[in-house]
Amino acid sequence: MSTARPFVLLRADYARWLDTERRMSPRTARNYLHSLDLFTDFLSGHLGEAITGATFGTLETRDFRAFLALRKGEGLTAQTLRLDLSAIKSFYRFLRKESGMTNPALAALRSPKLPPRLPKPLTRPDMDAMIDSAAVPEKGWESARDVALLTLLYGMGLRVSEALDLSWAEGDMGTSLTVTGKGSKSRMLPVLPQVQRAIAFYRKTVLADEIAQHFIARWDGDAPPLFWSKTGRAMTPRMAQELTAKLRRGLGLPATVTPHALRHSFATHLLGEGADLRALQELLGHSSLAATQRYTQVDTDALLKTYRSAHRRG
């Protein structure tokens, strides 16, 4: 393929390449082609000449940056700018495959950074409804386990891995509990009475169930886990995810409701009650205060939303 061909012909070949070789979805292909068209329209004015395949081999890093700066100046998000850059890089992969053309200037570009995603906590009523919906008396110890796990995640802000790493013996909780988090760092956490009651009821229900009693005995001297599946194996993060997914669907809650969202809810609700940021950092086991500070933005956004709903002219 000659790189001296007019762009319109190269574009047609590229469109076919996306469809037949990359097997890209029609929607994504349209987005890529649209971004590429915007780029070549920019180049025509920027360079003051008609665009051919050879043009793409002569571009410098500043040319790519000028295009992205123009797009950013139009008020576009970092996500859209990343799409534009991905489309350009995809076109260059096509050119390299078809004609051997490369352009080192493109390698110097970095994708625009996306803004940090804010945690998405549940409201207090939704959190209460979720725990209540997990309480199904006819399910016996499994229902008690689900309620205990949800109460623990929300009431202490644990990561799901931290909760599932707890042993059966550690379930005999007092007013504090030491957990081991990321980087094998331990932290001591206060245990709320609601958490104590939920865990105690779960353990009592297990010990009253003849089949469940065998689960503890089957561990042959090893420390049995606090939470396990109905087959007697240790409960996994995947099982916890399936539990929250089932409950959120039943309540009509968004897909952002995951086990980790309960940790977000713990932090956001505490902050809303006036908790000290440093104290919250210790409770969550964050190595950096910056990670904890994300919740201040969540709390501010929730406050503004409440204000605007109450004051329509706000």
Question: HSE (CB half, 13 Å, CA atoms) of 27?
Answer: 0
Contact 135, 143 (CB under 8 A): yes
Q: What contacts 143, CB < 8 A, 6 or more positions away?
A: 134, 135, 136, 137
What confidence tier does 314 reach under pLDDT thresholds 50, 70, 90?
A: very low
pLDDT, residue 170, reads 86
Q: Is 182 a catalytic residue?
A: yes
Q: Is 5 a catalytic residue?
A: no
Q: Which residue has the higher pLDDT, 57 or 223?
A: 57
* Active-site residue, from 46, 187, 286, 294: 286
Q: Which residue has the higher pLDDT, 234 or 212?
A: 234
pLDDT, residue 42, reads 93
Q: Which residue has the higher pLDDT, 65 or 304?
A: 65
Report in angstroms the alpha-carbon separations of 271 from 114, 124, 156, 274.
25, 13, 14, 5
Contact 298, 121 (CB under 8 A): yes
Domains of the chain plus CATH, in order, are: 7-107 (1.10.150.130), 124-310 (1.10.443.10)
Q: Which residue has the higher pLDDT, 266 or 217?
A: 266
* Active-site residue, from 248, 260, 264, 269: 260
pLDDT, residue 273, reads 73
Contact 152, 195 (CB under 8 A): yes
pLDDT, residue 291, reads 62
Query: CB 152: neighbour CB atoms within 10 A?
Result: 29
**Chain segment 156-169, per-residue pLDDT in tens:** 888 888 899 898 88
pLDDT, residue 60, reads 92
Task: Kindly state the DSSP code that residue 179 receives in the 8-state scheme.
Answer: E
303's tokens: 């406050």
Average pLDDT rounded to a whole number, residues 291-301 = 56
Q: Which residue has the tokens 């550690």?
A: 170
**Chain segment 115-156, per-residue pLDDT in tens:** 656 557 778 888 889 898 998 887 888 899 999 999 988 888
pLDDT, residue 17, reads 93
257's tokens: 């409701």
* Active-site residue, from 182, 246, 305, 308: 182
Average pLDDT rounded to a whole number, residues 275-294 = 68
pLDDT above 90 (res 299): no
Q: Which residue has the higher pLDDT, 151 or 185?
A: 151
What confidence tier does 303 reach under pLDDT thresholds 50, 70, 90?
A: very low
Q: Is 307 a catalytic residue?
A: no
Portion of the chain with pLDDT greater than 70, in percent = 85
Question: HSE (CB half, 13 Å, CA atoms) of 45?
Answer: 8
Reference 235, options 132, 135, 139, 148; nearest CA is: 148
pLDDT above 50 (res 306): no
* Active-site residue, from 159, 248, 264, 269: 159
Contact 121, 256 (CB under 8 A): no
210's tokens: 């003849």
Angstrom distance (rounded) from CA 84 to CA 110: 12
Average pLDDT rounded to a whole number, residues 211-223 = 72
**Chain segment 58-107, per-residue pLDDT in tens:** 999 999 999 999 998 888 888 888 899 999 999 999 999 888 888 888 88
What confidence tier does 183 reach under pLDDT thresholds 50, 70, 90?
A: confident
Q: Which residue has the tokens 């994300």?
A: 294
Q: Is 295 a catalytic residue?
A: yes
Query: CB 262: neighbour CB atoms within 10 A?
Result: 29
Angstrom distance (rounded) from CA 161 to CA 35: 42
What confidence tier does 296 reach under pLDDT thresholds 50, 70, 90?
A: low
**Chain segment 9-51, per-residue pLDDT in tens:** 889 999 999 998 888 888 899 999 999 999 999 999 998 888 8
**Average pLDDT, rounded, for the chain:** 82
* Active-site residue, from 203, 263, 264, 269: 263
Q: Which residue has the tokens 């200037």?
A: 105
